Amino acid sequence: MGRAPCCSKVGLHKGPWTPKEDALLTKYIQAHGEGQWKSLPKKAGLLRCGKSCRLRWMNYLRPDIKRGNITPEEDDLIIRMHSLLGNRWSLIAGRLPGRTDNEIKNYWNTHLCKKLKNQGSDDTNTDNMLGSPEQEPASENKKKKKNGGKKKKKGTNNAEAPKTQVYLPKPIRVKALFLPGTDSNSFFTFDSNSASGSTSQEKEESPVTKESNVVSEIGNVGESGGFGFFTQDHDLVNASDIECHSYFPTDHGTLQQLYEEYFQLLNMDHTQFEMNSFAESLLM
């Protein structure tokens, strides 16, 4: 007995948005701000569910949305971020100002997946990424569907696809931090999470071992648009303020040093950061 779709209420519109609906939504949000999505449609005079309104606003109507083709620089960044983070579209989108997670997800599924396959890269196989589930391009799914394939439900394919053993605490969403007075590379997104959140199965392997793997993976990222890290005092240090601001350190000694610094923080009982945070912080 599944949950009823949020738009199942009789009389609510579904499908493409009309210019009139867009105008109503935009006008309302400009007057009252975002949020309260549940009650927003009623107040704005829209026959839509709140979820639909949120999606429309976030993906298309927001004034800071950048429309148009993905640039080669963005393309490159998406590939590198994806190799590190897997299908964390919102995190990747957070690194690309004006781009939405939906847009990046679509772009990945339609362009990059294909491109990387043609290049013989294994990056399309997300099994080796940080906890991302295996994923096929949308077109592949569609072909399956056309051949009589059924919609894959979350959590129903565990028996078929063996779970990866990669340690991955589920991240908690935290708003991106904007460090004033610097360029767009200076903002910094991180996840905070308790390292104790892992399951007994996940604990079988030492976090040190797994995190070391992540560090070695970071080493493959190559140059990145700046990064930041935590100091012992937990201050954020913006990479643009330090010498190596534009390039990721590629020598293992530096990486090892950063990793050890991170691991010390892990051992502090009041502040524990998950490995993803570390990896992300290095990327930012």
Query: Which residues would be at the binding site for DNA (CB under 7 A)?
Result: 2-7, 13-17, 35-38, 50-52, 54-56, 58-60, 87-91, 101-103, 105-107, 109-111, 114, 132-133, 135-136, 138-139, 141-143, 145, 149-155, 170, 172-173
DSSP state of 268: S
Beta carbon of residue 98, minimum distance to DNA (angstroms, whole number): 13
Beta carbon of residue 238, minimum distance to DNA (angstroms, whole number): 22
Beta carbon of residue 271, minimum distance to DNA (angstroms, whole number): 16
How many residues are given for the chain?
Answer: 284
Q: Which residues contact 48 (CB under 8 A, 6 or more apart)?
A: 7, 12, 13, 21, 41, 56
Beta carbon of residue 265, minimum distance to DNA (angstroms, whole number): 19
Beta carbon of residue 32, minimum distance to DNA (angstroms, whole number): 12
Beta carbon of residue 168, minimum distance to DNA (angstroms, whole number): 11
* Residue with smaller CB distance to DNA, 92 or 255: 92
* Residue with smaller CB distance to DNA, 51 or 245: 51
| CA–CA distance, 184 with 277 (Å, rounded to integer) | 19
* Residue with smaller CB distance to DNA, 104 or 215: 104
* Residue with smaller CB distance to DNA, 158 or 232: 158
Q: Which residues contact 70 (CB under 8 A, 6 or more apart)?
A: 78, 99, 107, 111
**Which is it for strands 236-238 and 228-230: parallel, antiparallel or unpaired?**
antiparallel
DSSP state of 66: P
* Residue with smaller CB distance to DNA, 17 or 227: 17
* Residue with smaller CB distance to DNA, 55 or 237: 55
Q: Which amino acid is at 179?
A: L
CA neighbours within 13 Å on the CB side: how many for 136?
10
Nearest residue to 140 via CA among 120, 158, 102, 114? 114
Beta carbon of residue 89, minimum distance to DNA (angstroms, whole number): 3
Give Cα 275 to chain centroid, integer Å: 15
* Residue with smaller CB distance to DNA, 35 or 222: 35
Place of tokens 């959590």: 155
> Around Cβ 85, how many Cβ atoms within 10 Å?
23
Strands (E), the chain: 228-230, 236-238
Concatenate the DSSP letters of all residues of 206-259 into one string. Answer: -HHHHHHHHHHHHTTS-S-S--EEE-TT--EEEGGGSTT-SS---SHHHHHHHH
Beta carbon of residue 246, minimum distance to DNA (angstroms, whole number): 27
* Residue with smaller CB distance to DNA, 59 or 231: 59
DSSP state of 195: G
